[in-house]
Chain A
């Protein structure tokens, strides 16, 4: 995970040995061509077929005919699509912010003067090695049974019904599970970033009487700018694809209140006979994700550069 996503390595100067002979050794082509062919067949081709079928009324089986941009027009009048986009964005933005605040705080604490560093680091990474789906089933039980029972014992009436049972609060459950799981990886990336900061900087700042908060805003945060960028972009991109968490925690419910775009594509495309329609949804979704990633990179990298 290099820290400059937008700037791929610049073309190097050719090695002297190769400079004298202008031909590329044929073996280099042999090394890449099978991979390129497979990638084109399993990634690019489906992308293009998807775009093609988004212009048809194909149900996933049987006959189909061209309908032009009808699917796209229908998308814009479809409440279920708006619901899915609304939920997915609300969920992704809240989770991205929460996971980055929590992961950065934990990483700073883990990088501080504490005992049992390696042990704690090992514990905090555990969620990342477990299947989200299975953890989701465990959390489902916790939210549905344990939390209400604890709230009952403590007399907190607002929590005595499961948060997953109400369309207004079910999304919070999905956020908690996703943040619990995703924080692990982000903590490790922030830790890697924090270890690139020379301790002399802090020593000098401490001598000048800078408060811990001042040290954070003037040294820590600027120095890990690139890691912050990568974490924000990747978190948002991953959360926008939320799928496993929904399947195990709420199955999209109550009603369709926690149905994400991925879940909708899966259900409509495989079970709802909406193959063409959902591929149109996928195409729009692709443009949305690309646009958001680029806007994020632009904003965050400008911020990085201003330091």
Chain B
């Protein structure tokens, strides 16, 4: 996560405010509706109960399993985590997932924004308009449709590894990211660029020094969505990776499940460890994450 949401200054037409931490609710003159609050709290339990269940199951000894499984563990068995740590090669899977995610996010932000800029500023030309439609049309092609040939191709090119995953996330992200970036870039007035060009700056400089910093809020949105996708994706690692040492976290869970599917408490400890990193980041950055996702959806 490198992108930071920064204020874009007064030049933009519809930029988020500098204190962009989610939408601002107008202070309500009327009273709080406690019945509704209680109802929402009950609904929120549907999200929290499976998480609670995962935590308590991960801490139990095998003989405490059974029943409804919602009871608290009588004595926490921390060895579950130690066993899961070695059985799933957790550190290696974590490193692979981290590497792929960071790589995909960085490469996506640097390349997709640039492609979108070139397209957005030349949409009146047939070539770029065609390119725009070409990328957008691909939104309608689900991955399973091209899955079989892609796997053959990546294997031939020697990309059946972490590097290949980074590349594929970046390339497949183009469709959607160009869509949101172009909409955003077109709301940035041209005067800035024209002034810079008149002063002798190259288009290249204009993009990296003026436009890219202005894209801060959109970079945050694209970065967050790419991060969630690359971190949690199961299908691409499943079909692309050939070497077991390249396994990502979800794939490691899948392999583990196939091998040791009876040892539930160790399995749950392993699930918990796989979910934890992103969950911890999210707890600290949730306002920022949600406002980023919202911004992407209201464009």
Query: Are A117 and B25 touching (Cβ within 8 A)?
Result: yes
Partner of B40, one of A39, A114, A248: A114
Q: Is the interface of A mostly helix, strand, loop or mixed?
A: helix
Query: Are A261 and B144 touching (Cβ within 8 A)?
Result: yes
A135: interface (CB < 8 Å):
yes
Partner of A113, one of B31, B69, B297: B31
Chain B contacts with A in 23-62, Cβ cutoff 8 A: 23, 25-26, 28, 30-34, 36-37, 39-41, 43-44, 46-48, 50-51, 53-54, 57
The distance in angstroms between the C-alpha atoms of A141 and B171, with both chains bound, is 36
Chain A contacts with B in 119-143, Cβ cutoff 8 A: 120-135, 137-139, 141-142
The distance in angstroms between the C-alpha atoms of A293 and B228, with both chains bound, is 25
The distance in angstroms between the C-alpha atoms of A113 and B31, with both chains bound, is 7
Interface range on chain B (Cβ under 8 Å from partner): 35 or more
User: Contacting chain A: which of B3-11, B76-84, B98-106, B275-283?
Assistant: B275-283
* Residues on the B chain within 8 Å of A110, using CB: 40
Partner of A9, one of B183, B268, B286: B183
Chain B contacts with A in 256-299, Cβ cutoff 8 A: 257, 264, 267-268, 271, 274-275, 278-279, 282, 286-287, 289-290, 293-294, 296-299
Chain B nearest Cβ from A143, distance in angstroms: 11
Query: Are A113 and B30 touching (Cβ within 8 A)?
Result: yes
Query: Are B142 and A38 touching (Cβ within 8 A)?
Result: no
Interface range on chain A (Cβ under 8 Å from partner): 35 or more
Query: Are A114 and B32 touching (Cβ within 8 A)?
Result: yes
A195: interface (CB < 8 Å):
yes
Partner of A141, one of B57, B147, B182: B57
* Residues on the B chain within 8 Å of A290, using CB: 140
Knowing A129-B282, A141-B57, the reply to whether A120 touches B253 (Cβ < 8 A) is no
Q: Max chain B CB contacts within 10 Å: which of A11, A132, A278?
A: A11
* Residues on the B chain within 8 Å of A189, using CB: 294, 297
The distance in angstroms between the C-alpha atoms of A166 and B217, with both chains bound, is 48
The distance in angstroms between the C-alpha atoms of A39 and B66, with both chains bound, is 50
B184-201: CB near A (< 8 Å → 1, else 0) gives 001000100110011000
Given A261-B144, A283-B145, 11 additional A-B pairs, CB 8 A: A3-B298, A31-B117, A32-B128, A50-B145, A60-B148, A121-B22, A131-B232, A131-B250, A192-B298, A195-B23, A240-B142
Residues of B within 8 A of A (CB): 22-23, 25-26, 28, 30-34, 36-37, 39-41, 43-44, 46-48, 50-51, 53-54, 57, 66-70, 111-112, 114-115, 117-125, 128-129, 131-136, 138, 140-153, 167-168, 171-172, 174, 176, 179-180, 182-183, 186, 190, 193-194, 197-198, 202-204, 207, 228, 231-232, 234-235, 239, 249-250, 253-254, 257, 264, 267-268, 271, 274-275, 278-279, 282, 286-287, 289-290, 293-294, 296-299
CB pairs A–B below 8 angstroms (21 shown): A1-B180, A2-B183, A9-B182, A36-B131, A45-B149, A49-B153, A106-B43, A125-B286, A129-B282, A131-B232, A131-B249, A134-B271, A138-B271, A180-B47, A184-B47, A188-B290, A191-B23, A192-B294, A192-B298, A244-B235, A293-B140
